[in-house]
Amino acid sequence: MNQPVLPDNPTLDSGALYSLLAAQHGDPFSLLGFHHNEKKGVLRVLRPDATSVRMVPKEASFGSPTLLSKTHPDGLFEVLFEGVTEKINYHLEITFHSGEKQVLEDPYRFERLLSSFDTHLFSEGQHWSLYERMGAHLCRVDGVDGCSFHVWAPNARRVSVVGDFNKWDGRIHTMRKLAECGIWEIFIPHLVEGTHYKFEVLNAEGHVVLKSDPFAFFSQNGIQTASLVFNLDRFRWHDNEWMEARRHRELLKEPISVYEVHLGSWKRKPEDQNRPLSYHELADELIPYVKKMGYTHLELMPVAEHPFEGSWGYQITGFYCPTSRHGNPDDFRYFVDKAHQAGLGIILDWVPGHFPKDLHGLSNFDGTSLYEHADPRQGEHNDWGTLIFNYGRNEVRNFLIANALFWLDQYHIDGLRVDAVASMLYLDYSRKPGEWIPNAHGGRENLDAIYFLKRFNEICYERFPGIMTIAEESTAWPSVSRPTYLGGLGFGFKWNMGWMHDFLKYMSKEPVFRRYHQGDITFSLIYAFHEHFMLVLSHDEVVHGKGSLLNKMPGDVWQKFANLRLFYAWMYAHPGKKLLFMGGEFGQWAEWNHNQSLDWHLLASESHDGLSRLVQHLNWLYRSEPALFDQDDSYAGFQWIDFHDADHSVVAFQRISAQGRVVVFVINATPVVREGYRVGVDSEGFYEEILNTDAQTYGGSNCGNCGGVWADGQSWQGRAKSLVLRLPPLAVVGLRWSPPTPASQVQEELDALAKTPTY
């Protein structure tokens, strides 16, 4: 039996002892725990919060429990063993200052956790399931339940896990550094789900800072910034049918109508301190509403954890955790699951372009510019007060791409809309001469960011067929939505910011002046098929003093609503997928305020309710009429009939499906009824009026064409036939062509009718 020997003095030299007790030692695993050679062994435990420590062997053959000697008043306990030639298995019985006793496993008796293959993939920037290793994971090691922790901080002098479980004392759970990759790790036995924690980092500058876990799955929000241990393996999905069908979808040829939402202000509970809805409440209220309105997708402004409400989620500190403002991660999964079961896709705003300078976040993480560029000419967004990711670093690209895959994998997200792509592509974005550094070729293009975006798109589409990536890109950068093998950036779609600016400019003009701005509404068709576009009226257009969409419209109240109805119908008739920000569907008067609910009481008004019904009808018409979506990216799907009548502010065009279905649209952008207005068409037959934004049910004057018109034989505007229409004021008329019934079919129907008995 091995006999313990209690040392009278610490067995460590003064340098090692000081660095250990001062929490400055970079390799505590080499000192703490049980160590032995061919002659003897030593067990060291550092517990500043303990009055005594007893070693309890798990095998009876090793001997009886042994009280360790307290060899330093700061909490170093030791015991020597003579003749020990192999590793021993033991518990620690610890008596704390409070008098409480606990039997615990020693975290320093466990071997390395992360494999060399994991570290190799991370170092080369290709560990796509990195979130399965980094951060906090409940697990079982050597038959012991607990939690593993991994964090990348290559230049830190020491990293510890701290929390309520160790009274936030960084001396107790100091981590092991894996020198080949700069990752620190530790397995802490007995920790359970819900444990609050942070990383205490002795950084390269010699300062001790508390950092939230960059890979945390759950986190506090606002001024409370602790990370929380969370088990992502518990939730059971019920959206198999949706996920399987998604793999085979051809989104370019499908209708996509997106309702953009800020979850914190869509609807609130004023009777409960004006709190936002929970994920479960949103599943019960938001999803049925969006389904009723006819949208195909919900786009959520960033749900990743962020401390400042006023950033709307665009200044993220917790890239891997949905905000706890509405519930826990499984609550958010419940929301996504319910959306899929209702037939709705979920798109997330994703923000890989920058991050805030909050001390608990990624900024200066280990005392160096780890995630960001060191040079402010490359590393700071002066407009936003944020930092720019260093896309040239393998580990940073891996962090971001793995994050995108994490949302697609763990949360079944159907699309990622990438924020502020233009700011990533250009080194001189919003910078004056001398404030930026050219690339290796002397140009302004950010070559590292370009490579990152291409790689991001390639990996996402490769691993998750059927999803979509969308670029918010406001410049003329070519081939944003073309495959990388054709020289593009690889996005599925690009926001059409040009269309939005031109059409808002036109619609804000008094109708009498619109004749001078005809080019604003025709220019978009010059480039409409150069990219796979999404037409957007997003949150950006209803903030910062820009006014609501309804308030941008000229004229009295009736004309404002008529103009907005015209604008929406024109948007749905124009080639491109669609997006509308919440509140726009019923004509919110006020600018969007993230701190309060939308003005739902407005729906009691006929005008607001009528606008809502129009949007609902537009979504239904858009989804049911292939001419409006299946050739969105081709000139074959669009033809101008006439755009020269600027004097009357009238334009006419037709949309054509791949199967030859035709819908003619005529827009009258003045408040004057145009009687007997002739429009050229290609074919004879009946043109059914399937849309009239002046209909009474939408709040209009009910001026129209009594359900449709027949084409006559007069050629007009270079076309063989023509229609004579009554154009309602400030309105869009849509007419679906039906070919004339052959005479033989007419005779057959008459014969059948004659044989029908009458009573």
Catalytic residues: 419, 472
Please, which residues bridge with residue 386 across strands? Answer: 381
CA–CA separation, 363 and 201 (whole Å):
13
CA–CA separation, 121 and 117 (whole Å):
6
Neighbouring CB atoms inside 10 A of 378's CB total: 17
| Mutual angle of helices 497-507 and 557-573, in 10-degree steps | 150
Task: Tell me the CA distances in angstroms from 257 to 385, 531, 612, 614, one per residue in order.
Answer: 33, 17, 15, 14
| Range list of H helices, 277-319 | 279-293
CA–CA separation, 122 and 146 (whole Å):
24
Q: What is the 3-state secondary structure (H, E, C) of 429-452?
A: CCCCCCCCCCCCCCCCECHHHHHH
Measured in Å, how far apart are the chain's first and last C-alpha atoms? 112
Beta-carbon contacts of residue 185 (< 8 Å; ≥ 6 apart): 112, 113, 114, 148, 149, 150, 175, 176, 178
Return phi, psi of residue 689, to 5°.
-80, 100
Q: What is the token pair recorded at 291?
A: 């389904």
Q: 3-class SS at 729?
A: coil
CA–CA separation, 533 and 575 (whole Å):
8
CA–CA separation, 155 and 158 (whole Å):
9
Q: 3-class SS at 454?
A: helix
The H or E element that residue 202 is part of is strand 196-202
Give the torsion sign (CA, 572, 575, 579, 580): negative
Q: What is the token pair recorded at 151?
A: 């964090």
Q: 3-class SS at 8?
A: coil
